[in-house]
A = this chain, B = another copy of it.
Amino acid sequence: MINRDKRIAVLSPIAWRTPPRRYGAWETVASNITEGLVTCGWDVTLFATRDSITSAKLRAVIDKGYEEDPAVDPKVAEYLHIPEVFEHAAEFDLIHSHYDFMALSYSRLVQTPVLTTIHGFSSPKIMRVYDKYRDGYYVAISDADRALTLHYLATVYNGIDLSLYPFQPVAGDDLVFLGRIHQDKGVHLAIEVAQKCGRRLIIAGIIQDQAYFRQRVEPHLDGDMITYIGPVDVAGKNALFARAAAVLHLNILPERFGLVLAEANAAGVPVIAMNRGSCREVISDGRTGFLVDNVDQAVRAVGRLSEIDRPACRQRVEQHFSIDTMVAAYEQVYAEIFELEAKKQQK
Protein backbone atom coordinates (compact mmCIF):
# COMPACT_ATOMS: atom_id res chain seq x y z
CA MET A 1 0.00 0.00 0.00
CA ILE A 2 1.28 3.42 -0.98
CA ASN A 3 0.84 6.10 1.68
CA ARG A 4 -0.10 9.18 -0.33
CA ASP A 5 -0.48 11.40 2.73
CA LYS A 6 2.68 13.34 1.86
CA ARG A 7 3.37 16.74 0.33
CA ILE A 8 5.42 16.65 -2.86
CA ALA A 9 7.19 19.62 -4.47
CA VAL A 10 7.99 19.13 -8.14
CA LEU A 11 10.77 21.43 -9.35
CA SER A 12 10.45 21.88 -13.10
CA PRO A 13 12.97 23.61 -15.38
CA ILE A 14 12.09 27.11 -16.58
CA ALA A 15 13.49 27.05 -20.09
CA TRP A 16 9.89 26.61 -21.24
CA ARG A 17 6.40 26.62 -19.82
CA THR A 18 5.31 23.43 -17.99
CA PRO A 19 4.01 21.70 -20.06
CA PRO A 20 5.83 23.27 -23.00
CA ARG A 21 3.90 24.62 -25.98
CA ARG A 22 6.11 22.72 -28.41
CA TYR A 23 9.65 21.62 -27.66
CA GLY A 24 10.76 20.91 -24.07
CA ALA A 25 11.18 17.28 -23.01
CA TRP A 26 12.13 17.93 -19.40
CA GLU A 27 9.15 20.21 -18.81
CA THR A 28 6.88 17.67 -20.53
CA VAL A 29 7.93 14.89 -18.20
CA ALA A 30 7.78 17.12 -15.10
CA SER A 31 4.24 18.03 -16.13
CA ASN A 32 3.20 14.43 -16.73
CA ILE A 33 4.52 13.36 -13.34
CA THR A 34 2.80 16.29 -11.61
CA GLU A 35 -0.57 15.65 -13.23
CA GLY A 36 -0.28 11.91 -12.67
CA LEU A 37 0.49 12.38 -8.98
CA VAL A 38 -2.47 14.72 -8.56
CA THR A 39 -4.73 12.15 -10.22
CA CYS A 40 -3.50 9.56 -7.72
CA GLY A 41 -4.41 11.87 -4.84
CA TRP A 42 -1.04 13.30 -3.81
CA ASP A 43 -0.72 16.85 -2.47
CA VAL A 44 1.54 18.34 -5.16
CA THR A 45 3.03 21.81 -5.61
CA LEU A 46 4.63 22.54 -8.98
CA PHE A 47 7.48 25.04 -9.07
CA ALA A 48 7.55 26.26 -12.68
CA THR A 49 7.04 29.38 -14.79
CA ARG A 50 4.00 31.50 -13.92
CA ASP A 51 2.33 30.73 -17.27
CA SER A 52 2.44 27.01 -16.55
CA ILE A 53 -0.75 24.93 -16.59
CA THR A 54 -1.34 22.39 -13.86
CA SER A 55 -3.96 20.84 -11.64
CA ALA A 56 -1.41 20.96 -8.80
CA LYS A 57 -0.70 24.10 -6.76
CA LEU A 58 1.56 26.33 -8.85
CA ARG A 59 4.36 28.33 -7.26
CA ALA A 60 6.19 30.69 -9.62
CA VAL A 61 8.65 33.54 -9.42
CA ILE A 62 9.51 33.68 -13.14
CA ASP A 63 6.77 34.76 -15.53
CA LYS A 64 7.90 33.00 -18.69
CA GLY A 65 10.49 30.50 -19.82
CA TYR A 66 13.87 32.03 -20.63
CA GLU A 67 13.82 30.35 -24.03
CA GLU A 68 10.48 32.03 -24.79
CA ASP A 69 11.14 35.53 -23.45
CA PRO A 70 14.35 37.37 -24.35
CA ALA A 71 13.72 39.75 -21.43
CA VAL A 72 14.47 36.92 -18.99
CA ASP A 73 18.12 36.46 -18.06
CA PRO A 74 18.56 32.68 -17.67
CA LYS A 75 21.14 32.97 -14.91
CA VAL A 76 19.11 35.45 -12.88
CA ALA A 77 15.94 33.41 -13.41
CA GLU A 78 17.68 30.24 -12.27
CA TYR A 79 19.04 31.87 -9.13
CA LEU A 80 15.51 33.03 -8.27
CA HIS A 81 13.60 29.89 -9.25
CA ILE A 82 15.68 27.09 -7.72
CA PRO A 83 16.15 28.54 -4.19
CA GLU A 84 12.40 29.22 -4.01
CA VAL A 85 11.59 25.55 -3.50
CA PHE A 86 14.43 25.08 -1.03
CA GLU A 87 13.44 28.14 1.00
CA HIS A 88 10.03 26.48 1.41
CA ALA A 89 11.45 23.00 1.92
CA ALA A 90 9.90 22.62 5.37
CA GLU A 91 6.45 22.67 3.75
CA PHE A 92 7.18 19.47 1.83
CA ASP A 93 7.98 15.85 2.59
CA LEU A 94 9.86 15.40 -0.68
CA ILE A 95 11.35 17.66 -3.33
CA HIS A 96 11.33 15.96 -6.72
CA SER A 97 13.81 17.91 -8.80
CA HIS A 98 14.04 17.96 -12.58
CA TYR A 99 16.56 20.80 -12.38
CA ASP A 100 19.81 19.07 -13.20
CA PHE A 101 22.98 19.49 -11.14
CA MET A 102 22.16 23.05 -10.11
CA ALA A 103 19.43 22.09 -7.65
CA LEU A 104 21.74 19.60 -5.95
CA SER A 105 23.87 22.45 -4.68
CA TYR A 106 21.02 23.48 -2.34
CA SER A 107 20.06 19.97 -1.28
CA ARG A 108 22.29 19.65 1.78
CA LEU A 109 21.01 22.90 3.26
CA VAL A 110 17.51 21.55 3.90
CA GLN A 111 16.06 18.64 5.91
CA THR A 112 13.60 17.60 3.20
CA PRO A 113 14.87 14.74 1.02
CA VAL A 114 15.54 15.58 -2.62
CA LEU A 115 14.94 13.14 -5.46
CA THR A 116 16.55 14.04 -8.78
CA THR A 117 15.38 12.61 -12.07
CA ILE A 118 18.43 12.92 -14.28
CA HIS A 119 17.15 13.82 -17.73
CA GLY A 120 20.60 13.71 -19.24
CA PHE A 121 24.23 14.67 -18.72
CA SER A 122 24.87 17.74 -20.86
CA SER A 123 28.64 17.48 -20.41
CA PRO A 124 31.13 15.20 -18.63
CA LYS A 125 32.12 18.28 -16.64
CA ILE A 126 28.87 18.27 -14.64
CA MET A 127 29.76 14.82 -13.25
CA ARG A 128 31.84 16.55 -10.56
CA VAL A 129 28.66 17.93 -9.04
CA TYR A 130 26.89 14.56 -9.18
CA ASP A 131 29.97 12.97 -7.62
CA LYS A 132 29.88 15.44 -4.74
CA TYR A 133 26.19 14.74 -4.13
CA ARG A 134 26.40 11.00 -4.78
CA ASP A 135 24.60 10.32 -1.50
CA GLY A 136 21.46 11.85 -3.05
CA TYR A 137 18.44 10.04 -4.43
CA TYR A 138 18.50 9.51 -8.21
CA VAL A 139 16.30 8.10 -10.92
CA ALA A 140 17.52 7.34 -14.45
CA ILE A 141 15.16 7.75 -17.41
CA SER A 142 16.69 4.78 -19.23
CA ASP A 143 19.23 2.11 -18.40
CA ALA A 144 21.32 3.43 -21.27
CA ASP A 145 21.62 6.85 -19.64
CA ARG A 146 22.90 5.62 -16.30
CA ALA A 147 26.21 7.03 -15.11
CA LEU A 148 28.37 4.18 -13.85
CA THR A 149 29.58 6.14 -10.83
CA LEU A 150 26.12 6.95 -9.47
CA HIS A 151 23.82 4.85 -7.36
CA TYR A 152 20.24 4.99 -8.65
CA LEU A 153 17.08 4.02 -6.84
CA ALA A 154 15.50 2.98 -10.15
CA THR A 155 15.14 3.51 -13.85
CA VAL A 156 11.75 5.05 -14.52
CA TYR A 157 10.88 5.42 -18.17
CA ASN A 158 9.27 8.68 -19.20
CA GLY A 159 5.52 8.40 -19.56
CA ILE A 160 3.50 10.25 -22.15
CA ASP A 161 -0.09 11.42 -22.03
CA LEU A 162 -1.72 8.80 -24.26
CA SER A 163 -4.87 10.86 -24.65
CA LEU A 164 -2.85 13.42 -26.60
CA TYR A 165 -1.76 10.89 -29.22
CA PRO A 166 -4.81 8.95 -30.44
CA PHE A 167 -4.24 5.69 -32.24
CA GLN A 168 -4.32 6.05 -36.02
CA PRO A 169 -5.12 2.65 -37.57
CA VAL A 170 -4.19 3.45 -41.16
CA ALA A 171 -0.56 3.99 -42.17
CA GLY A 172 0.43 7.04 -44.21
CA ASP A 173 2.94 7.11 -47.04
CA ASP A 174 5.54 9.58 -45.86
CA LEU A 175 8.62 9.38 -43.71
CA VAL A 176 8.80 11.83 -40.81
CA PHE A 177 11.67 13.32 -38.83
CA LEU A 178 10.64 14.92 -35.54
CA GLY A 179 13.19 16.48 -33.22
CA ARG A 180 15.79 19.19 -32.80
CA ILE A 181 17.56 20.07 -36.05
CA HIS A 182 21.05 19.16 -34.94
CA GLN A 183 23.86 16.93 -36.14
CA ASP A 184 23.34 14.68 -33.08
CA LYS A 185 19.84 13.88 -34.25
CA GLY A 186 20.97 12.67 -37.70
CA VAL A 187 18.58 14.74 -39.81
CA HIS A 188 21.01 14.38 -42.72
CA LEU A 189 20.81 10.58 -42.40
CA ALA A 190 17.01 10.71 -42.51
CA ILE A 191 17.27 12.75 -45.72
CA GLU A 192 19.66 10.18 -47.20
CA VAL A 193 17.30 7.32 -46.36
CA ALA A 194 14.30 9.11 -47.89
CA GLN A 195 16.22 9.89 -51.04
CA LYS A 196 17.42 6.28 -51.42
CA CYS A 197 13.86 5.00 -50.90
CA GLY A 198 12.28 7.62 -53.15
CA ARG A 199 9.91 8.43 -50.27
CA ARG A 200 8.71 11.84 -49.16
CA LEU A 201 10.30 13.15 -45.92
CA ILE A 202 8.72 15.79 -43.70
CA ILE A 203 11.10 17.37 -41.18
CA ALA A 204 9.75 19.12 -38.07
CA GLY A 205 11.45 20.62 -35.04
CA ILE A 206 13.32 23.64 -33.70
CA ILE A 207 16.57 24.53 -35.43
CA GLN A 208 19.17 24.19 -32.72
CA ASP A 209 22.22 24.39 -34.98
CA GLN A 210 21.75 26.99 -37.72
CA ALA A 211 24.99 26.14 -39.52
CA TYR A 212 24.07 22.46 -39.64
CA PHE A 213 20.61 23.32 -40.95
CA ARG A 214 22.08 25.55 -43.66
CA GLN A 215 24.74 23.09 -44.77
CA ARG A 216 23.17 19.67 -44.33
CA VAL A 217 19.39 20.18 -44.49
CA GLU A 218 18.42 23.30 -46.42
CA PRO A 219 20.15 22.32 -49.71
CA HIS A 220 17.83 19.28 -49.94
CA LEU A 221 14.57 21.14 -49.32
CA ASP A 222 12.56 21.12 -52.57
CA GLY A 223 9.06 21.86 -51.28
CA ASP A 224 7.93 18.42 -52.34
CA MET A 225 10.02 15.34 -51.56
CA ILE A 226 11.99 16.89 -48.68
CA THR A 227 10.22 19.62 -46.68
CA TYR A 228 10.85 21.43 -43.39
CA ILE A 229 7.81 22.73 -41.51
CA GLY A 230 9.38 24.19 -38.34
CA PRO A 231 8.50 23.18 -34.78
CA VAL A 232 5.11 21.57 -34.20
CA ASP A 233 2.77 21.36 -31.22
CA VAL A 234 0.76 18.27 -30.23
CA ALA A 235 -1.84 18.82 -32.96
CA GLY A 236 0.96 19.26 -35.47
CA LYS A 237 2.57 16.02 -34.33
CA ASN A 238 -0.71 14.13 -34.74
CA ALA A 239 -1.12 15.55 -38.24
CA LEU A 240 2.37 14.29 -39.05
CA PHE A 241 1.67 10.85 -37.54
CA ALA A 242 -1.43 10.65 -39.75
CA ARG A 243 0.75 10.99 -42.84
CA ALA A 244 3.57 8.79 -41.58
CA ALA A 245 4.60 5.38 -42.79
CA ALA A 246 7.34 5.63 -40.17
CA VAL A 247 9.28 8.04 -38.01
CA LEU A 248 13.01 8.08 -38.77
CA HIS A 249 15.21 8.62 -35.72
CA LEU A 250 18.78 8.02 -36.87
CA ASN A 251 20.43 9.75 -33.95
CA ILE A 252 24.22 9.87 -33.90
CA LEU A 253 24.61 10.40 -30.16
CA PRO A 254 22.91 7.84 -27.91
CA GLU A 255 19.40 9.06 -27.10
CA ARG A 256 18.70 9.57 -23.38
CA PHE A 257 15.12 8.52 -23.68
CA GLY A 258 13.41 9.69 -26.86
CA LEU A 259 9.91 10.87 -26.01
CA VAL A 260 9.03 11.23 -29.68
CA LEU A 261 9.58 7.51 -30.26
CA ALA A 262 6.94 6.68 -27.67
CA GLU A 263 4.61 9.35 -29.05
CA ALA A 264 4.89 7.94 -32.56
CA ASN A 265 4.31 4.40 -31.35
CA ALA A 266 1.32 5.61 -29.33
CA ALA A 267 -0.23 6.80 -32.58
CA GLY A 268 0.53 3.41 -34.11
CA VAL A 269 3.45 4.72 -36.17
CA PRO A 270 6.50 2.43 -36.38
CA VAL A 271 9.91 3.96 -35.65
CA ILE A 272 13.16 3.25 -37.44
CA ALA A 273 15.81 4.18 -34.90
CA MET A 274 19.51 3.80 -34.39
CA ASN A 275 20.53 0.74 -32.45
CA ARG A 276 22.13 2.70 -29.62
CA GLY A 277 21.30 4.31 -26.29
CA SER A 278 17.77 4.22 -25.00
CA CYS A 279 16.28 3.50 -28.45
CA ARG A 280 16.96 -0.14 -27.66
CA GLU A 281 14.73 0.16 -24.61
CA VAL A 282 11.94 2.24 -26.14
CA ILE A 283 11.66 0.40 -29.48
CA SER A 284 11.09 -3.33 -29.65
CA ASP A 285 13.00 -4.39 -32.75
CA GLY A 286 10.71 -5.95 -35.37
CA ARG A 287 7.65 -5.31 -33.21
CA THR A 288 7.23 -1.52 -32.80
CA GLY A 289 9.81 -0.54 -35.38
CA PHE A 290 13.34 -1.43 -36.39
CA LEU A 291 16.72 -0.83 -34.79
CA VAL A 292 19.39 -0.18 -37.43
CA ASP A 293 23.09 0.54 -37.51
CA ASN A 294 23.35 2.61 -40.66
CA VAL A 295 21.55 4.21 -43.59
CA ASP A 296 21.44 1.04 -45.72
CA GLN A 297 19.80 -0.94 -42.92
CA ALA A 298 17.33 1.90 -42.47
CA VAL A 299 16.47 1.77 -46.18
CA ARG A 300 15.86 -1.98 -45.91
CA ALA A 301 13.71 -1.38 -42.80
CA VAL A 302 11.50 1.01 -44.76
CA GLY A 303 10.82 -1.91 -47.10
CA ARG A 304 9.72 -4.05 -44.18
CA LEU A 305 7.30 -1.59 -42.53
CA SER A 306 4.26 -3.70 -43.47
CA GLU A 307 5.51 -6.32 -41.01
CA ILE A 308 4.79 -4.00 -38.10
CA ASP A 309 1.45 -4.41 -36.34
CA ARG A 310 0.23 -0.87 -35.55
CA PRO A 311 -2.01 -1.83 -32.58
CA ALA A 312 0.98 -3.61 -31.04
CA CYS A 313 2.89 -0.31 -31.13
CA ARG A 314 0.13 1.40 -29.19
CA GLN A 315 -0.12 -1.47 -26.76
CA ARG A 316 3.55 -1.41 -25.87
CA VAL A 317 3.41 2.30 -25.06
CA GLU A 318 0.33 1.75 -22.91
CA GLN A 319 2.20 -0.88 -20.95
CA HIS A 320 5.60 0.74 -20.56
CA PHE A 321 5.48 4.44 -21.40
CA SER A 322 2.15 5.71 -20.07
CA ILE A 323 1.79 8.30 -17.32
CA ASP A 324 0.12 5.67 -15.15
CA THR A 325 3.06 3.31 -15.47
CA MET A 326 5.54 6.10 -14.81
CA VAL A 327 3.68 7.47 -11.79
CA ALA A 328 3.24 4.01 -10.28
CA ALA A 329 7.01 3.54 -10.58
CA TYR A 330 7.69 6.90 -8.97
CA GLU A 331 5.31 6.04 -6.15
CA GLN A 332 7.48 3.02 -5.42
CA VAL A 333 10.57 5.24 -5.45
CA TYR A 334 8.92 7.77 -3.12
CA ALA A 335 7.91 4.96 -0.74
CA GLU A 336 11.49 3.72 -0.69
CA ILE A 337 12.80 7.21 0.09
CA PHE A 338 10.29 7.74 2.91
CA GLU A 339 11.30 4.40 4.37
CA LEU A 340 15.02 5.23 4.13
CA GLU A 341 14.40 8.64 5.70
CA ALA A 342 12.37 7.10 8.53
CA LYS A 343 15.28 4.76 9.26
CA LYS A 344 17.67 7.74 9.32
CA GLN A 345 15.40 9.46 11.86
CA GLN A 346 15.45 6.40 14.10
CA LYS A 347 19.22 6.38 14.27
Nearest residue in B to A125 (C-beta to C-beta)?
A: B73
A73 to B104 Cα, complex, angstroms: 17
A124 to B335 Cα, complex, angstroms: 45
Chain A positions 52 through 65: 1 when the CB is less than 8 Å from some CB of chain B, otherwise 0: 00000000000000
Interface residue tally for chain A (C-beta within 8 Å)? 22
Chain A positions 104 through 141: 1 when the CB is less than 8 Å from some CB of chain B, otherwise 0: 11101110000000000001011011001000000000
Instruction: Contact check, A129 vs B87: say whether CB atoms are below 8 A apart.
Output: no
Instruction: Contact check, A83 vs B102: say whether CB atoms are below 8 A apart.
Output: no
Number of copies: 2
Distance between A85 CB and nearest chain B CB, rounded to angstroms: 11
A306 to B105 Cα, complex, angstroms: 56
Instruction: Contact check, B126 vs A105: say whether CB atoms are below 8 A apart.
Output: no
Chain A positions 71 through 113: 1 when the CB is less than 8 Å from some CB of chain B, otherwise 0: 0010010011011001100000000000001101110111000
A80 to B108 Cα, complex, angstroms: 12
Distance between A319 CB and nearest chain B CB, rounded to angstroms: 38
Instruction: Contact check, A80 vs B110: say whether CB atoms are below 8 A apart.
Output: no
Instruction: Contact check, B87 vs A123: say whether CB atoms are below 8 A apart.
Output: no
- On chain B, the residues within 8 Å of A79 by CB distance are 101-102, 104-105, 129
Distance between A136 CB and nearest chain B CB, rounded to angstroms: 13
- On chain B, the residues within 8 Å of A106 by CB distance are 83, 105-106, 109
A76-B101, A101-B76, A123-B73 as given contacts; A108 in contact with B129, CB under 8 Å: no
Distance between A104 CB and nearest chain B CB, rounded to angstroms: 8
Distance between A129 CB and nearest chain B CB, rounded to angstroms: 6
Instruction: Contact check, B128 vs A76: say whether CB atoms are below 8 A apart.
Output: yes
A110 to B105 Cα, complex, angstroms: 13
Distance between A166 CB and nearest chain B CB, rounded to angstroms: 41
Instruction: Contact check, B86 vs A129: say whether CB atoms are below 8 A apart.
Output: no
A73 to B129 Cα, complex, angstroms: 11
Nearest residue in B to A131 (C-beta to C-beta)?
A: B80
A123 to B75 Cα, complex, angstroms: 12
Instruction: Contact check, B82 vs A129: say whether CB atoms are below 8 A apart.
Output: no
- On chain B, the residues within 8 Å of A82 by CB distance are 105
Distance between A174 CB and nearest chain B CB, rounded to angstroms: 41
Instruction: Contact check, B109 vs A86: say whether CB atoms are below 8 A apart.
Output: yes
Given contacts A76-B125, A105-B106, 7 further A-B contacts (CB under 8 A): A76-B101, A76-B123, A76-B126, A76-B129, A79-B104, A80-B128, A83-B106
Could you name 25 residue pairs across A and B whose Cβ atoms are closer than 8 Å? A73-B123, A73-B125, A73-B126, A76-B101, A76-B123, A76-B125, A76-B126, A76-B128, A76-B129, A79-B101, A79-B102, A79-B104, A79-B105, A79-B129, A80-B128, A80-B129, A83-B105, A83-B106, A83-B109, A86-B109, A105-B106, A106-B106, A106-B109, A109-B109, A109-B110
Binding site for B on A (CB under 8 A): 73, 76, 79-80, 82-83, 86-87, 101-102, 104-106, 108-110, 123, 125-126, 128-129, 132
